[in-house]
Amino acid sequence: MAIVRLSHDGNGMLERTRVVANRTEAQCSLDTTDFPNGCEVGSIVAVDKAAGLVKLSGSLKGVLANTERTPDQYKPGLKEYKVPKGGMAVVLFMDKGEEIITNTVCYDNTEFASEAAFITALEGVKTTALYGIQDATTGAIKVTATATDAPFVVVKKTTVPDGQTAVKFIAISDL
C-alpha cells in the first residue's frame, strides 16, 4: 500500500466554489512537528485552539485555505504558494452542501492501480460514487470508494485555474 499524490506542477491549489467563508480560524500557526516543510492549501487539518496550533489530528477539522502570497512577480500563480513551516494558517470550516475544488488530492495505489485508473474512476463518479477523507500523513484529501466517515463526496473531475487536473468535492458531513 502506498499513497500517491495526483500529479501536478507546483503546490496544491484550492478554489472555494460554493462556500460561505464565515467560519474560519486564522489565529493559529502550523505545528512544526506535523508540518516540518509547511503545508499545501486544500489539505484537511485540525485546529488545537488551546495550543494555538494547526495539526494533522484533532477533533476540530477544516480545510487549509490560506490566500496565496506571490513574493516573486515573475512566478505568479496559486501553485507557487504553500503555508510555510510555523506559518499562520487559515482553516475553513465547511457546512454540508458547500463545495471546493482542489488538486491537493491523493489515492491509495491498492485501490487505484495507476493514475490513469484513478482518473478513469473520477470520470465515472456519476455512476460509481467516490469519497474524500483525510490522508493521516500529509492532510491531502484521499479519494476512496469507501463512504465510511467521509466528509466529502466527489462531484467531478475538473481543473484548477492553470488547467491542471483537480477534483470538485461537496461536503456531506462535518470534517
Domain ranges of the chain: 3-10+98-171, 19-92
Q: Name 157's bridge partners.
A: 167
**Distance of alpha carbon 150 from alpha carbon 130, whole angstroms:** 10
How are strands ordered across the β-sheet holding 3-5?
3-5, 105-108, 141-144, 131-134, 152-159, 165-171, 99-102, 14-18
Residue 140 and residue 43 in contact, taking contact as beta carbons nearer than 8 Å? yes
More confident residue, 132 or 75: 132
87 against 78, higher pLDDT: 87
The shares of helix, strand and coil residues in the chain, as percent rounded to the nearest 5, are: 5, 40, 55
Name, in order, each residue with C-beta under 8 angstroms of 171's C-beta and a sequence gap of 6 or more: 94, 95, 96, 97, 98, 99, 151, 152
Q: Provide the β-strand partners of residue 4.
A: 107
Please say if the pLDDT value at position 80 is more than 90: no
Q: Which residues, in sequence order, are CB contacts of 147 under 8 Å at separation 6+?
A: 129, 131, 153
pLDDT of residue 71: 64
Evaluate if residue 76 carries a pLDDT over 70. no
Q: Looking at the predicted structure, is the pLDDT value of residue 1 above 80?
A: no
Query: Whats the size of the chain, residue-wise?
Result: 175
Give yes or no for residue 75 having a pLDDT over 70: no
Using the Cα atoms of residue 84, residue 80, residue 104 and residue 102 in order, give the sign of their dihedral: positive
Per-residue 3-state assignment (H helix, E strand, C coil) for 47-63:
EECCCCEEECCCCCEEE
